[in-house]
Amino acid sequence: MNIFVSSLSFRARREDLEKLFAPFGEVSSARIITDKVTHRSKGYGFVEMSDEDGQKAIEALNGSEHMGRTINVAAATSERAPRPAAPTTPAE
- One pLDDT digit (tens) per residue for the chain, 92 residues: 999 999 999 999 999 999 999 999 999 999 999 999 999 999 999 999 999 999 999 999 999 999 999 999 999 986 555 566 666 666 55
Q: What is the pTM of this model?
A: 0.82
Q: Does domain 2-75 have CATH number 3.40.50.720?
A: no
Q: Where are the domains of the chain?
A: 2-75
How many Cβ atoms sit within 10 Å of the Cβ of residue 83? 6
Residue 48's DSSP bridge partners are: 2, 29
